[in-house]
Amino acid sequence: MSKDQITMYGADWCGDCRRSKRLLEELEVEYTLIDVDADLSAADKVIEINGGAKSIPVIVFSDGTHLTEPSDNDLKAKLQSLSII
């Protein structure tokens, strides 16, 4: 799995982002992190994906689906469904 197959939009101050990052790292899943504070176009992308909401993290998968503020169980289930873990 290459890191370009999962993109996480997040920010350092976001507790849910830190939790999702920690899970991905524990599972040794590569991903690309885009900081919405540093990249304003990324913040706009989050709003577009979420239908107007600024909620993060938004984790986008290579199959075109995404999860917003996923629980660890939901994120793990998604990774299993895509045969990433």
Domain 3-81 CATH (choose: 3.40.50.300, 3.30.200.20, 3.10.129.10, 3.40.30.10): 3.40.30.10
Checking 4-7 for CB contacts under 8 A at 24+ apart, the result is 4/32, 5/30, 5/61, 5/62, 5/84, 6/30, 6/31, 6/32, 6/59, 6/60, 6/61, 6/62, 6/84, 7/31, 7/32, 7/33, 7/34, 7/59, 7/60
* Distance of alpha carbon 2 from alpha carbon 12, whole angstroms: 23
Per residue in 19-44, pLDDT (tens digit) is: 999 999 999 999 999 999 999 999 99
Per residue in 63-83, pLDDT (tens digit) is: 999 999 999 999 999 999 999
Residues 6+ apart with CB under 8 A from 23: 72, 75, 76
To the question of pTM greater than 0.85 for the whole model, the response is yes
